[in-house]
Structure 1
Amino acid sequence: MNTPLKHLAVVGAGGMGSGIAALFAARGAQVVLIDPVDGALDRARASIARQLGVYAAGGEGEAMARIRMSPDLDAAAECDLVIEAVPENLELKRGIFAKLDAICAPGAIFATNTSGLSINALASAVTRRERFVGTHFFTPADVIPLVEVVRNDDTSEATVAAVMDALRAVGKRPVLVRRDIPGFIANRIQHALAREAISLLEKGVASAEDIDEVVKWSLGIRLALSGPLEQRDMNGIDVHHAIASYLYQDLENRQEPSELLRGKVERGELGAKSGQGFYAWSPERRERVLREKSEALAELAAWLERKAGGG
């Protein structure tokens, strides 16, 4: 890694935390993965071994040797960068950062992996607000190239530069979110898309399978190469304006989750992890889909990187 941030702590050994640990270790960083929950580190060890097998190209053993595991936050004391990746609970995260603030050296940078919690609210738990950022990775964290780096009101330019350099050094494509807003960039766009898709399903316009088919094989395949604003330029902003003039009024704009969504949560139909969501998921199907999609995403990301680099 060509960055001064070579010693990393990841707090939280779930799917996201283990993916972040695997990513940095595969690129040469020394990593300590921290989680006090019984069995969490053993599960992470198996998960990391599988993840490294996707892209470490035979160097899995060396990468794994760079990962130390500990149940104690004190293990982060000497690290340059600490990335927290625990569940999306504001007070849980704040409590962890308050402890880390007392443990870690003054020069350490803190980063929170959150999908949309306020970075300002999280940073208020520490005395080093200028050395605190959000780093929103995407699942699987070791495969999806983009990371949203989110400032709080006091984040220094030096901190932003150091974190973005560290992410680039492990092959990520960081973008800077200049303002702390709910959901940042990706989840605001993703939830707008999901809200419309769920509304179409709820209204009986099409099946879940066909709605997903439309997105994957029209919008999705195009979005891999051209973002929505560039696409508006390509199509013509006047054309978009003309369509928006009649379509916006008919789009889903509810302010609360739909009854369909609420009902599924109440019945425990939580998706792949519970066996039923919009689709039925056996344990075997879940594992197969996770493996196949991780491999396919890694291949797609590598192809896109080659295209972007002119290769």
Structure 2
Amino acid sequence: MSVFENAALIGAGLVGPQIGVVLAQGCGRVRVFDQNPANVERALRDMRTYVDELAAEGLLIGDPDAVYPRIEAATSLEEAVDGVEFVLEAIFENREAKEALYGKLGQITDPATIIASNTSGIPIRHMADACTHPSRVVGSHFVLPAHILPLVEVIKHPKVDEEAIRVTRAAWEKMGKSAITVNVDIPGFVHNRLQHGLTRQAIELFATGIASAEDIDNAVRYGFGARFISVGPLGGRDLGGIINHAKVAAYLYAQLDDPENLAANHLAEMSKQGKDGVRAGQGFHTWTGTPETLRDFHYEKMIWLVKQMREIGSVITDEAEIPGG
């Protein structure tokens, strides 16, 4: 049985088609719309590739031949949302553009239709305030690559209906994702505040010559990054002991503040120099080869890791829940 009989995906950039594949695994039909028809054509091709990729790795919910026909192109916004129960918005990150879209969606969708935004940092309340019946607007922030990595943040705002949050979270979980609820509508939500907190420190360490890009990355990959697969940062403090961590925090945390905004300024300078990472062949690392081939390689590594994470499951805090214990 489908989670939603009809859903719409608005925005067919990089992440939109990836989320579309998630929707297609749990919905009877997913209509895809973008202002640029060429983006829709590319998205449909990409979605078929993603379906095949997930199926080959045993991560697809259902049979590929059953998933393909659920994905349809729409030639207008009105056609895309006609009669749908759920809309996922994934257009570019611009507050004014999103507010304009939500104003129109409020006029052409049924008041019971849930409208979810994949914004990575714009507070959900801005889109909700632009939409009629703002209580049905929720956040649904995915992490790239969205069809592979399990996390979805379901984000509240002051006017949200708790039932819309419950339905949205349950829907993503039925479609194979690991959902968390963000109770307060703050910029960056949970995932990006954690991610950018770490990234800011990494950039500062690199910019000040403390360590090389490779060594900084490896400090995460071979250190606490591996530990976080089993237990997150707060659970890790519990395992290590709060008393001991409080002693470290007393002298270290104050050293982590950066009133001069060194990391953001360093990124801005890299941008001016055209050091755009894998697309330019130069970022913090030097990259050789096509961006697509390099991304595919790392996506394959992520797929392998996600399969291991499924075996590990959620954080275990009860000895009685330990397998074989």
1: distance between equivalents of 2:265 and 2:183?
A: 34
Deviating runs (4+, > 6 A) in structure 1?
Answer: none
2: distance between equivalents of 1:92 and 1:158?
A: 27
> Could you state the TM-score of these two structures normalised by the residue count of structure 1?
0.93
Q: Alpha carbons of 1:123 and 1:283: their partners in 2 closer, same or farther (altered >3 Å)?
A: farther
**SS state of the match for residue 48, structure 2?**
helix
Give the drift of 1:293. Answer: 2.3
Give the drift of 1:28. Answer: 4.7
Q: Deviations over 1:234-275 (max 9, x none)?
A: 001111111111112322433634432111111222222333
1:81 aligned residue (82, 86, 106): 86
2: distance between equivalents of 1:79 and 1:12?
A: 16
Give the drift of 1:225. Answer: 1.1
1:174 is matched with which residue? 179
1:191 is matched with which residue? 196
| Unaligned residue ranges in structure 1 (runs of 5+) | none
**Which residue identity is paired with 1:37?**
N
2: distance between equivalents of 1:90 and 1:280?
A: 33
* 1:13-162 aligned within 5 A: 13-57=12-56, 59-74=63-78, 75-162=80-167
1:224 aligned residue (207, 221, 229): 229
Percentage of matched positions with identical amino acids: 34
Give the drift of 1:278. Answer: 1.3
**SS state of the match for residue 39, structure 1?**
helix
- The count of corresponding residues between Structure 1 and Structure 2 is 309
**SS state of the match for residue 135, structure 1?**
strand
Q: Deviations over 1:100-147 (max 9, x none)?
A: 111111211111101110111111111111111010111111111111
2: distance between equivalents of 1:242 and 1:7?
A: 54
Q: Tell me, yes or no, if the aligned pair for 2:230 and 2:312 is still in contact at 8 Å.
A: no
**SS state of the match for residue 30, structure 1?**
strand
2: distance between equivalents of 1:173 and 1:164?
A: 9
Root mean square deviation of aligned Cα: 1.9
> Could you state the TM-score of these two structures normalised by the residue count of structure 2?
0.90
**SS state of the match for residue 147, structure 1?**
strand
2:275 is matched with which residue? 269
**Which residue identity is paired with 2:276?**
L
* 1:272-311 aligned within 5 A: 272-284=278-290, 286-308=291-313
**Which residue identity is paired with 2:171?**
A
2: distance between equivalents of 1:101 and 1:208?
A: 46
2: distance between equivalents of 1:280 and 1:10?
A: 35
| Unaligned residue ranges in structure 2 (runs of 5+) | 315-322
**SS state of the match for residue 135, structure 2?**
helix
2: distance between equivalents of 1:160 and 1:250?
A: 38
